[in-house]
Amino acid sequence: MLELNWLKTFVTLAQYQHFGKAAAALHMTQPNVSLHIKQLENNTRVKLIERNPFHLTQAGERLLLTSQETLMELQICQGDLNAINDLSQGTLTIAASDIISRLLLISPFQLFKTQFPGIDFSLLNTTSSQASELVKSAQADLGFVIAQKESQPLHFTELQQIRWCALGDNLALWQNAKQQPERELESEPTLILLGHDTRTRDLLDSALSSLDLPQYRIMEVGSVDAQIDWAEAGFGVAIVPDFSISSKRNLKTQVTPLPEFPTTSLGYIVRQNQILSKAIKQLLKWVDEEIIRSQNR
């Protein structure tokens, strides 16, 4: 009979490919990690890993696949049982990007801590694509994402339509220069955008031609806040979601709505057929109320 603790140790060791790092991740001693692997190999009667250099055997690769699936199903099962029992203790794990968490989740989380003091929540700061993977693998109970397509095994619920705006003073000047080639600009236009590893950037790239700009440069930054700061400092024009500046009262540069840019959705994802606990349902209600407040500011 295979012990779950052995499988957890094996999966973690396969991830880190190092006994010491696996032991640290599992809060175990290195000898105990070795003991779990030895017990697993003795029980299965096959060699699962080669130690020097470290790699999984063919049997180890097969066991890794089934172990990951088994542990994920058990995690999903535990989450459903917690939801049925109206989880009042434990941990609620949320995956969301930095901009979504700071603008929409802080106030709901404060209410959550007051009403559900026995539940800790863990916030995973990540991209929308990574949040989807975390929810799919049951490493997160709930994900807040931008532009999630309905796909197995996830269910997406829209909370808000996102529109886009340009933050920066020179957009109209650049567009006029495109219409009047005889007018020379002092320098090439600079658009301040998120990096290519974000779903937001994927959406924007296909719409940039609608700005009708002359040849331009792109400055890539890691967050929407960084986009706003660099645009405010005069380094270019940032293309950002309109909700990201709704709470900014002291902007110095011009804000230009971009109605020609395609709208997209902000919402939350859960696994299909996932049972939502009373705590999660209440958190989603507070998030919805926070979105309404932000739209009315």
Q: Which tens digit of pLDDT belongs to each residue from 123-149?
A: 898 888 788 888 887 788 899 988 766
DSSP state of 263: P
Is the CB of residue 153 less than 8 Å from the CB of residue 274?
no
Cβ-Cβ contacts under 8 Å for 44 (sequence gap 6 or more) = 2, 59, 63
Position 236 scores a pLDDT of: 93
Position 84 scores a pLDDT of: 47
Q: Is the peptide bond before 241 cis (omega within 30 degrees of 0)?
A: no
H or E element that contains 125: strand 119-125
Q: What is the DSSP string of 205-233?
A: HTTGGGG--SS-EEEEESSHHHHHHHHHT
| Cα 282 from Cα 266, distance rounded (Å) | 18
Confidence category of residue 166, pLDDT binned at 50, 70, 90: very high
DSSP state of 151: B
Q: What is the mean pLDDT of the chain?
A: 83
Position 250 scores a pLDDT of: 86
Give the best-scoring range by mean pLDDT among 16-30, 181-195, 222-236: 222-236
* 183 vs 219 pLDDT, higher one: 219
**Two tokens, residue 123:** 């916030």
Residue 110 Ramachandran class (φ > 0 left, ψ -120 to 50 alpha, else beta): alpha
Position 292 scores a pLDDT of: 82
Tell me the average pLDDT across 27-33: 87
Question: Sign of the CA dihedral 264, 249, 124, 81?
Answer: negative
Tell me the average pLDDT across 80-99: 70
Q: How far is CA 206 from CA 125, 189, 239, 290, in A?
A: 26, 18, 13, 30
Q: Is the pLDDT of residue 78 over 80?
A: no
Name the pTM for this structure: 0.64
Position 265 scores a pLDDT of: 86
Confidence category of residue 108, pLDDT binned at 50, 70, 90: very high
Q: Which residue has the tokens 């405010």?
A: 232
Tell me the average pLDDT across 113-128: 85
